[in-house]
Chain A
């Protein structure tokens, strides 16, 4: 008698469970993610998405947001602006996400931005560095990544730490908005600090042979080369600079370098060089929030994501954390409420404190975070903090 009853209850529960799970899934808060998962910059897009996934898991483990789980809806923008817009359209119109994160490259983000106004949906920008993003008069854009200007100013303030001192600087950057913007920003900041400007060279994003540029830089008489590009080209530049016995020390800016990968792949050529990073996974205890950093590093290595990816993966993590905090502060899952809440949040991120100040034309300001910059140096195959 008891048995059949318990069987009935068990059966009822078994039938209810999947529909309960389904109902639960319907209750999830959706967050759109528009990143390059295939194409030329797929490596970086995947790192950022991995970081976002870690944030999703961590937030859900702590009870989610407003009592509900968050769920990332991830779309591939195939490393081009047209698909970035298509992916965003899909997320906003088909999946009805109340908020997005994306889209990695500046031109990708710029092509998504008009849609945000059309559909009144906010987006957190986690990587793109073009100044246009926050000065185009789009009140639905909130950028946590630092601009090149911030990075340059932050760097110039630390310039006295360098021995031998920086007297004449040369530049080598990738010929896109990221590289060119960086050259402009650092040129301005360094000139203001009394540094002479030497040779300025550029390279195409898929160039593999920079010997001509390096030969020109070699004879410029400078003592420091500021290098801005993605990690694949950094490896090549460092190797070729060593091959040509470049006299200058190399400082890589932009925060897209990955010192671990450079140590592994550039070998001895990486030694003695400096890098700006926005998150230093080798010294979680020195991060503004050490427990957070340690947990992130543990989760990342636990998931067996590639170790060199942490310097970019943190962006995804901070982006999702910011969004989750804004939804909590808004109290409801509504795009406009989330937008208003983004202005008010103060988030403890891997990079430091995240909050937004207005930037851009009056009445249509976008949000910009003032991020921290760290300088690390590779000495004998190990990363040391400057």
Chain B
């Protein structure tokens, strides 16, 4: 029973960050239909940014996280503007190839600057775990969970209660009509990509101090983000959130009770199952059946 509770707590915390990654990608993959291979690298970028600010430059830890998010936004916007804008209207394959090239270059750049040696970030939190009964959890993880929840709520409000959110949803449903209504599609796409990237960077900045930072840390994370997007349905924020938690629970309990070796594959098995049984994903807004 004790480890059941521990698994549950671990899964909730992991789920929060998975949800952040999923939302970022569901916007980009779902709305812009871009197979964004750089999503994992923006995650790594966020982690390296907090390393640079908090570890090297000794800035305030919390400010560093915010800075990482802002830089992620700008960097993502720049990528979209330079690489994707000129390709408006191109095939999904073409943009995918550009994203692959960008990802290769980004990882190479990260290794060039930081080398492959793992980096750690000092945090203002104590290393003594908070103990509640049989469950123990580090304070920083609780912090990460609360920030993730705030960001999720903030995002939900952004999409559903602001004019920008309306414009984004309109573009998702029908770009041409939205344009006719005065929405600047190009700007929306840039902002969408930038927002998605900043969420990935924030996830990296939050998780970097908990784990270690390496140039290839984004690879596995990117694959899981795609899995979450599918589970939740393309373009569906709530779905991505739920999908993130579903994946986290499946991984924790699968690894704990079934087999630790297959842990990272559980997400993919889930996807195959879900898509066989319910091809539109758990919460899709649009049907995609063959």
Interface size on A, residues (CB 8 A): 41
Chain B residues, Cβ within 8 Å of A264: 120
Instruction: Give the segment of A230-238, A330-338, A369-377, A378-386 that binds chain B.
Output: A230-238
A46 close to B (CB within 8 Å): yes
Chain B residues, Cβ within 8 Å of A204: 261, 263-264
A: which residues have CB within 8 A of B? 38-43, 46, 175, 201-204, 206-209, 211-213, 215-216, 218-219, 231-232, 235-236, 239, 242-245, 261, 264-265, 267-269, 306, 308-309
B60 close to A (CB within 8 Å): no
Rounded to whole angstroms, the CA-CA distance of A242 and B255 in the bound complex is 20
B132 close to A (CB within 8 Å): no
Shortest Cβ gap from B217 to chain A (Å): 8
Rounded to whole angstroms, the CA-CA distance of A231 and B211 in the bound complex is 12
| Contact status of A42 and B116, CB under 8 A, knowing A202-B261, A215-B3, A244-B136 | yes
Q: Are A206 and B255 in contact (CB under 8 A)?
A: no
Q: Are B216 and A206 in contact (CB under 8 A)?
A: yes
In the complex, residue of chain B having the shortest beta-carbon distance to the beta carbon of A41: B116
Instruction: Give the segment of B6-14, B177-185, B230-238 that binds chain A.
Output: B6-14
Rounded to whole angstroms, the CA-CA distance of A242 and B140 in the bound complex is 14
Chain A residues, Cβ within 8 Å of B263: 203-204, 207, 212
Q: Are B3 and A245 in contact (CB under 8 A)?
A: no
Q: Are A212 and B127 in contact (CB under 8 A)?
A: no
Q: Are A243 and B129 in contact (CB under 8 A)?
A: yes
Q: List 20 A-B contacts (CB under 8 A).
A: A43-B115, A43-B116, A43-B118, A201-B260, A202-B260, A202-B261, A206-B216, A207-B220, A207-B264, A211-B6, A211-B252, A218-B3, A232-B214, A236-B212, A242-B127, A243-B129, A244-B6, A244-B136, A264-B120, A306-B117
Rounded to whole angstroms, the CA-CA distance of A244 and B136 in the bound complex is 6
Chain B residues, Cβ within 8 Å of A41: 116
Q: Are B256 and A216 in contact (CB under 8 A)?
A: yes
How would residues 201 to 217 of chain B score, 1 for a CB under 8 Å from any chain A CB and 0 otherwise? Answer: 00000010001101111
Shortest Cβ gap from A37 to chain B (Å): 9
| Contact status of A265 and B261, CB under 8 A, knowing A38-B108, A244-B129 | no
Rounded to whole angstroms, the CA-CA distance of A213 and B2 in the bound complex is 14
| Contact status of A39 and B129, CB under 8 A, knowing A219-B3, A243-B137, A243-B138 | no
Q: Are B219 and A232 in contact (CB under 8 A)?
A: no
Q: Are A215 and B7 in contact (CB under 8 A)?
A: yes
Q: Are B212 and A40 in contact (CB under 8 A)?
A: no
Shortest Cβ gap from A364 to chain B (Å): 34
If A211-B7, A243-B129, A267-B127 are given as contacts, then 18 extra A-B residue pairs at C-beta distance below 8 Å, sorted by A number, are A42-B115, A43-B116, A43-B118, A201-B260, A202-B261, A204-B263, A206-B217, A207-B220, A208-B212, A209-B10, A212-B252, A235-B118, A236-B212, A239-B127, A243-B138, A244-B136, A265-B212, A308-B117
In the complex, residue of chain A having the shortest beta-carbon distance to the beta carbon of B118: A232
Within 8 A of A (CB), among B155-189: none
Rounded to whole angstroms, the CA-CA distance of A215 and B108 in the bound complex is 36
Q: Are B137 and A212 in contact (CB under 8 A)?
A: no
In the complex, residue of chain A having the shortest beta-carbon distance to the beta carbon of B221: A208
Cβ-closest 8 pairs across A and B: A42-B116, A212-B255, A265-B120, A212-B256, A43-B116, A232-B118, A215-B3, A211-B10
In the complex, residue of chain B having the shortest beta-carbon distance to the beta carbon of A211: B10
Rounded to whole angstroms, the CA-CA distance of A365 and B136 in the bound complex is 53
Rounded to whole angstroms, the CA-CA distance of A209 and B263 in the bound complex is 10
Rounded to whole angstroms, the CA-CA distance of A46 and B217 in the bound complex is 18
Rounded to whole angstroms, the CA-CA distance of A40 and B107 in the bound complex is 11
How would residues 110 to 146 of chain B score, 1 for a CB under 8 Å from any chain A CB and 0 otherwise? Answer: 0100011110100000010101000011100100000
Shortest Cβ gap from B252 to chain A (Å): 5
Chain A residues, Cβ within 8 Å of B129: 242-245
| Contact status of A213 and B260, CB under 8 A, knowing A219-B2, A236-B211, A268-B127 | yes
With beta carbons under 8 angstroms apart, the residue of B7, B116, B216 that contacts A212 is B7
| Contact status of A46 and B115, CB under 8 A, knowing A38-B108, A218-B3, A243-B138 | yes
In the complex, residue of chain B having the shortest beta-carbon distance to the beta carbon of A233: B212
Q: Are B115 and A235 in contact (CB under 8 A)?
A: no
In the complex, residue of chain B having the shortest beta-carbon distance to the beta carbon of A44: B116
